[in-house]
């Protein structure tokens, strides 16, 4: 039994901070390896396949593709950059033999760069550093390279990892070069670098099959598809195999279809061997982290531990007066089935049943992680309501521990004061402050995850949209004490009906409105933010009493202040502990948990 090397294949993942150009780089590699026909119309960021990814310009799910270069097949995995989807990154790194660490030539290493690089170094991978966006007018590639080197040292990289190769790129222009002074024509220098520096898969071809399932795909014709890299042996179509479950149980099944990735397509194949990234169908309830092995000697492979969730919220069936009017799936059974189906592919998510059949506790990696799930379900026709996100605490040695986030903020100097003032009560400790280029200053803090709930919205207002904030889970520390909640109350509707200009005009003197005229409202629904600390009941359906003297045009003079539209994220950040967000395919409404005004007053007295 001799060690076998697959010289015709390379497996590599692209890791980076959000928005540093991973998906654009994959586009350039695909175009230059002639995956598309010359006359084929190709969308930008072709790997971001679902609607939410296209709209937000972010990658949510990792994707597999492959390109050919000089007869060598390069399997590429595009990963998400947001900390909330870190679970996707962690398990994908199990499939590859190296990573391309992509860094923006202007921004340099960011919190998420540190997070993904740490995971890659822990798995003993040797990264290739790609400095991207070198064609930006304010690019500073040489300083950024120094910053990357410092980051490798800080994360405890070994000598081999510190001796990383570097490529300078403009993914948008589709060019790469090894030195800044070189002439850049195409992506070949990067292709050559991957072939030269990514280790070819090694292992035993003549030993029994082993493959770890790291991703689940779904197809309505063949059902669930397990995706992973073959680490030992070969696999054939129609072959009997053993599936080793996470609890150690072994099931014997048969491979019905076997696929490999060619460009963006899955292609059927009869056989695949050591080093290939393959998709296997025919295993009805295959899960992430399970091992596909030989029937005669089933041996399990270890699976990477995924970071725990830090935030949880309750998903409930909708019980507002408008329940069932706009959604297709409205019952608790629909909600339960959908949430448990999500667990099959979303590794960082947890779903627990509660004492009530209509309520489920859902935990995730952050506000974005949970709001993407809510938005996806809403688009699929689900109608439900959710509570305010709360932080998950841990107990260690009898002490209450809470998650601490590492927060990086880039702001113009004039807004530094207001940002620091807002972060004080939220228990943030400043760690570092550096003046970045272009009049921006970088502020780094360690802050309890609780302190970040509801902060982004305020931050964008305070910095007039000029600030950039990023955060990533840093550690767990003893509880830091109370953090003050929202300082203002809500404007709560007390008469159901349709909102009218006259009623809204009277209400807007009390605060900021979230709804305009002609909106159907119910008692207990939130119509705006109060200018005081307490909630105030308002009648937005109030009509003007008719008198017998009327001047023409008197009502035309009622001017309404433009309303603040509340997106899903803004609504989740805004609501207090006694409020809910009602989510339907057509609307997002905020409401009190107790809708009746008198019952709410009674509950408050208690």
Helix and strand element counts for the chain (H, E)? 15, 37
135 is in an annotated binding site: yes
DSSP readout, 257-304?
A: EEEEEEBTEEEE-SEEETT-EEEEE--TT--TT-EEE-SSS--PPP-P
Please count the other Cβ atoms lying within 10 Å of the Cβ belonging to residue 370. Answer: 24
Measure the CA–CA gap between 205 and 234, rounded to whole angstroms.
7
466 is in an annotated binding site: no
Is the separation of the CB atoms in 329 and 335 below 8 Å?
yes
> For residues 114, 118, 124 and 128, what is the CA-based torsion angle, rounded to 10 degrees?
-10
282 is in an annotated binding site: no
Q: Which residue in the block uniquely carries the two structure tokens 């004490």?
A: 481
Is the separation of the CB atoms in 564 and 556 below 8 Å?
no
> For residues 90, 91, 93 and 96, what is the CA-based torsion angle, rounded to 10 degrees?
180
Estimate the crossing angle of helix 455-462 against helix 416-423, to 10 degrees: 160
Is the separation of the CB atoms in 44 and 25 below 8 Å?
no
133 is in an annotated binding site: yes
23 is in an annotated binding site: yes
20 is in an annotated binding site: yes
Let me know if 453 is exposed, middle or buried by CB neighbors in 10 A (0-12, 13-18, 19+). Answer: buried
19 is in an annotated binding site: yes
Closest CA to 55 of 466, 371, 329, 335: 371
- For 446, the token pair is 């360690």
Q: Which residue in the block uniquely carries the two structure tokens 């399932």?
A: 213
Measure the CA–CA gap between 523 and 155, rounded to whole angstroms.
55
Binding residues for GTP: 19-24, 132-135
Q: Which residues are annotated as a binding site?
A: 19-24, 132-135
């Amino acid at each position: 039994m001799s060690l076998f090397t697959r010289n015709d294949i390379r497996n590599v993942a692209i890791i980076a901070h959000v928005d540093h150009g991973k998906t654009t780089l994959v586009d350039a590699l695909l175009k230059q390896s002639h995956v598309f026909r010359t006359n084929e119309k190709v969308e930008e960021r072709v790997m971001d396949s679902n609607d939410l990814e296209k709209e937000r310009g972010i990658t949510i799910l990792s994707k597999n593709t492959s390109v050919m270069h000089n007869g060598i097949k390069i399997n590429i995995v595009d990963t998400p950059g947001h900390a909330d989807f870190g679970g996707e990154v962690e398990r994908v790194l199990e499939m590859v033999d190296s990573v391309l660490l992509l860094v923006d030539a202007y921004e340099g290493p960011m919190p998420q760069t540190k997070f993904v690089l740490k995971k890659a170094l822990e798995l003993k991978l040797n990264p290739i550093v790609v400095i991207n966006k070198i064609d930006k007018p304010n690019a500073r590639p040489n300083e950024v390279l120094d910053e990357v080197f410092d980051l490798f040292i800080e994360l405890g990289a070994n000598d081999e990892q510190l001796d990383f190769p570097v490529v300078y790129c403009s993914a948008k222009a589709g060019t790469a070069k090894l030195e800044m002074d070189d002439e850049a024509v195409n992506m070949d220098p990067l292709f050559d670098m991957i072939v030269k520096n990514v280790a070819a898969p090694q292992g035993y071809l003549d030993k029994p099959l082993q493959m770890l399932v790291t991703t689940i795909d779904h197809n309505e014709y063949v059902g669930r598809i397990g995706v992973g890299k073959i680490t030992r042996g070969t696999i054939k179509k129609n072959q009997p195999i053993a599936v080793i479950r996470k609890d150690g149980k072994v099931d014997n099944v048969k491979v019905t279809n076997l696929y490999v990735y060619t460009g963006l397509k899955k292609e059927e194949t009869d056989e695949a061997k050591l080093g290939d990234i393959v998709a296997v169908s025919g295993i009805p309830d295959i899960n992430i982290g399970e091992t596909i092995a030989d029937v005669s000697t089933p041996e399990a492979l270890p699976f990477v531990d995924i970071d725990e969730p830090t935030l949880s919220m309750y998903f409930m069936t909708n019980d507002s007066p408008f329940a069932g009017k706009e959604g297709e799936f409205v019952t608790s059974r629909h909600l339960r089935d959908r949430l448990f189906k999500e667990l099959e592919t979303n590794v960082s998510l947890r779903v627990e049943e509660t004492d009530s059949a209509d309520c489920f506790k859902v935990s995730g990696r952050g506000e974005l992680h949970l709001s993407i799930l809510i938005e996806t379900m809403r688009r699929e026709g689900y109608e439900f309501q959710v509570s305010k996100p709360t932080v998950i605490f841990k107990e260690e040695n009898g002490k209450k521990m809470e998650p601490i986030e590492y927060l990086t903020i880039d702001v113009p100097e004039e807004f530094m004061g207001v940002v620091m003032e807002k972060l004080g009560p939220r228990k943030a400790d400043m760690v570092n402050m550096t003046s970045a280029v272009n009049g921006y200053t970088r502020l780094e803090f360690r802050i309890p995850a609780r302190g970040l709930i509801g902060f982004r919205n305020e931050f964008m207002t305070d910095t007039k949209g000029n600030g950039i904030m990023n955060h990533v889970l840093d550690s767990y520390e003893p509880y830091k004490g109370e953090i003050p909640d929202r300082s203002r109350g809500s404007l709560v509707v007390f008469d159901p009906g349709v909102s009218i200009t006259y009623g809204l005009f009277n209400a807007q003197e009390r605060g900021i409105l979230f709804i305009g005229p002609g909106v159907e409202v119910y008692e207990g629904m939130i119509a705006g933010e109060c200018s005081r600390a307490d909630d105030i009941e308002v009648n937005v359906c109030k009509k003007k009493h008719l008198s017998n003297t009327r001047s023409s045009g008197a009502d035309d003079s009622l001017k309404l202040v433009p309303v603040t539209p509340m997106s899903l994220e803004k609504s989740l950040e805004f609501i207090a502990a006694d409020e809910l967000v009602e989510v339907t395919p057509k609307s997002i409404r905020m409401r009190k948990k107790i809708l009746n005004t008198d019952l709410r007053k009674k509950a408050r007295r208690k």
